[in-house]
Structure formats: structure tokens, C-alpha cells
Amino acid sequence: MPISQNVGGKLGIYVHVPFCRSKCAYCDFYSFVPGDETVCERYVNALLSHMEYYKSAVAERLPDSVYIGGGTPTALPEEQLLRMIRGVRRTFHLAKNAEFTVEVNPATASYKTFVRMRRAGVNRISIGLQSADPGELKALSRIHSRADFEQCYRDARRAKIQNISVDLMFGIPRQTTESLLRSVDYVTRLRPEHVSLYNLKIEPGTPFYQNRRQLVLPDEDTEFEMYEAACALLERRGYKQYEISNFAQPGKMCKHNLKYWNCEEYLGLGTGAHSYFNGNRFSFVPNIQAYIKGIEHIESDIGITASSEEIKGKARMGEYIMLKFRLAEGLPLGEFQRTFGSDFLELYGSKLPFYLKKGYMVRRGDNIALTHAGMFVSNYILSDILTFADLNAVSPANQF
């Protein structure tokens, strides 16, 4: 991308690692099992060159969050993972106390790896458990057991990683509200600082999609019951919901992910990674060979750019609305007025009384937010509130 313009402000850095030990049946992320270690080394070399390419453009932005995700970053050979982590710190001038997260699959990291990651600058890990129920883990074709997760969690704590997030899912085949609550209970007793709770979606192109008629999935009412019950248990255990799928102990919200929902900027490097940088949204090719080849001859990264769009006017407003309504605190009317010079209620208020009356939305002071019931059907509500033109103006990367 052209990198001359610098709009200032703090920045997040995302690095995508497209490798996994095996492919889960529900997953539609760009990730695969690497054939051998050479491809891992070449990919990390490419990432380091790509970081170097952006070094001067990022120099004054003082990134205060880094997120290495995937895929499974810990599926990389340890030496390559550490090279990449050190490369981020060496290339970019990070803010003091920057949050530095690495995603971890429970079967792919040891105590020693955690110690080395912490020494290299990692201060937060996000572990994908998904469920504590052996049958549900099997249904998801996860490669780890609950015991693997527990070992991984304790290893991370022993290695003095003081900020841990755990991912859970609801809507898994044959999952019940009771089994979900057992998973939430199990996880919250370990006291991670942060919990994410995602709704399993059956995405086209996945084995789950191909076999969707054989899957015994909870119906929509049961899924809503699951979501409400899990949210309530998490709140009782001291995890405040701050986004549709995210819950944290006080002061432990994910700084990096908040950037996405607060429309702040982030630079995403790696194959398939998305960015919002210097007022542009762009992404790089989801094809590792094309990415490596493009970087090996880098003078400009336009050749590996898959999409690019300047975000302004209607598109920016549409994104702002869609992202702010993901947050538990909702959309701040005053900020909307200051940012866009228009009154949100005048533009979009006609449909709100219905959702407020039915309990899908709530007004708290200057903010309008979705309730749990509203969050569960947020896509429907937002497409009802926004006009067809607004939705069309929003970048596809930000529709959910």
C-alpha cells in the first residue's frame, strides 16, 4: 500500500500466522498445515521484511497493542515464533506497557515456550479451549483435550504470564445449556483475566457446512438461552461484558480488539491480514506462496494487496454505527455528533422506539446500546436501522 500519509494517533499491530497442526472442521480462517519447516522459515522472513517496509510509516504512531493471531502462532517452530516476536519489538517502537498478545492452541505450547515468549516481550496469551466437554471437543475436531488445556493454562501461569484470555463457543453440535454452563464454570474457576464466548457459525466451504444436514445443532431459541445463561454466569463470576462476545475482569479488556470496535487504526501484516491504516482499509492476498514471492521482491506491496478502499463519508459512518453497537456501552450520541456533524437520532432514530420498547435496546445517558436480546440478533437490527445505501457503503471486511 502507499504509505506516505500519516494521520497520527496510536496504532495496533496484527500479525497473521496461517499455520495449524490440523484443520478444525468448522474453521473458515485462512490457515493450513505446513508441509515442512522451510515454509515456516520463509514466511517469517517475509513477515520480517514486510515489517521493515512499514517501519518508517509506523515510527511516530507508538503502537500500544500487538496481536499475533492465526491460524495457530504456536504451530510455528519455537525458534521462528521467537524471531517473529523479537522482530516486531525490534522494528516498531512500541509504547511503554503495550499489550502484546499471542494466540495459543492448548496442544502446542510448553512451559519453556511461555517463559521464552515472556522474555521476548509477550505479556498476554489467548488460549482457544472452545469447550471443556470431551464430546464437544471431539465434535469440533479440536486436537487437544481438557487436560491439555489445563496443563497449558498452568504452564502459562507458572511462566508468569499475568494476562490470559480463554475462548469458548456456544452452538456446538449436541451442546446443551447445561454443558455450556459447565464449561463456563470450569473456566471461570481458573480465573483467567478475560473470556471470549463465540457463537459457532456453519460457514460455507468447511466440512461442517458439507455435513450440515447430519449435524445436531441447537435451534435458535436454545442458542439464545445458552447465550443469556452464559452471560449471566460470567457476570456473576466478575467478568463484565464489554462487547457482544467478550468479557473481562476490571481493567482487563483487550486493548487490541477494542481498537477494531472503536474504529481506531491497526496495521495487519501477513497473508490474508486486514488493515485500517492511514484512513484506508486494505488486505493482503490469502495465498502464502503469492505473499512470500511478493515480499521477496518488495519495492511496493501493491502486488500482494487483495483489496483496498479509502474509508470516508457514508462508509465511515456506517462502519462506526455497526462497530459501536457491538460494544456493551453502545453508541455515544455526542461523539457521533462531533465526529460526523449530524444527529444520529435524526438520521436513524425512526426505528429505535420499537427496539427500545421491546427490550432489544436501552438508552443509558448519552448512549444507546443493545441489550443481550439485541446483541443476539444484532445483524438483523442493524440491517433494519441502516438504509440499504449505508450497508452498501460499508466495507465487506467489516460486515458480520
CB of 67 to ligand SF4, least distance (A): 14
CA-derived radius of gyration, the chain? 21
Name which of 34 and 192 has its Cβ closer to ligand SF4.
34
Contact between 288 and ligand SF4 by CB under 6 A: the answer reads: no
Q: Enumerate residues 140-159 that contact ligand SF4 by CB under 6 A.
A: none
- Give residues with Cβ within 8 angstroms of 388, minimum separation 6: none
With binding defined as CB under 6 A, does residue 318 bind ligand SF4? no
Stretch that binds ligand SF4, among 20-28, 91-99, 257-265, 306-314 (CB under 6 A): 20-28
Cell 493482503 -> residue: 284
Nearer residue to ligand SF4 within complex by CB, 207 or 334: 207
Q: Which residue lies nearest ligand SF4, judged by its C-beta?
A: 27
Interface with ligand SF4, residue 196, by CB under 6 A? no
Judged by CB, which is closer to ligand SF4: 200, or 253? 200
15 binds ligand SF4 (CB under 6 A): no
If one asks whether residue 25 binds ligand SF4 (CB under 6 A), the answer comes out as no
**Residue 245 binds ligand SF4 (CB under 6 A):** no
Residue placing its CB nearer to ligand SF4 in the complex, 72 or 196: 72
- Applying CB under 6 A, among 3, 6, 10, 27 the residue interacting with ligand SF4 is 27
In 3D, which of 202, 220, 219 has the Cα closest to residue 211?
A: 202
- Quote the cell numbers at residue 126: 489467548
Applying CB under 6 A, the site for ligand SF4 has a residue count of: 11
CB of 307 to ligand SF4, least distance (A): 21
Q: How far apart are CA 101 and CA 265, in angstroms?
A: 17
- Contact range with ligand SF4 by CB under 6 A, out of 26-34, 185-193, 303-311, 324-332: 26-34
Residue 70 in the binding site for ligand SF4 (CB under 6 A): yes
Integer Cα distance of 126 and 53 in angstroms:
28
Segment 29-68, which members bind ligand SF4 (CB under 6 A)?
Answer: 29, 31
Q: Among residues 17, 24, 125, 370, which is the contact residue for ligand SF4, using CB under 6 A?
A: 24
Asked whether 321 and 386 are in contact (CB, 8 A), the reply is: yes
Q: Is 20 in the site for ligand SF4 (CB under 6 A)?
A: yes
Residue 72 interacting with ligand SF4 (CB under 6 A): yes
23 vs 89, which CB is nearer to ligand SF4?
Answer: 23
Report yes or no: 229 and 177 within 8 Å, Cβ to Cβ.
yes
Write down the least CB distance from residue 386 to ligand SF4, Å.
30
Taking CB under 6 A as the rule, does residue 129 contact ligand SF4? no
Which of 23, 118, 240, 314 is the binder for ligand SF4 (CB under 6 A)?
Answer: 23
Please, which of residues 80-109 interact with ligand SF4 by CB under 6 A? 105
307 with 51: CB under 8 angstroms? no
Nearer Cβ to ligand SF4, position 70 or 374? 70
Binding residues for ligand SF4, rule: CB under 6 A, are 20, 23-24, 27, 29, 31, 70-72, 105, 128
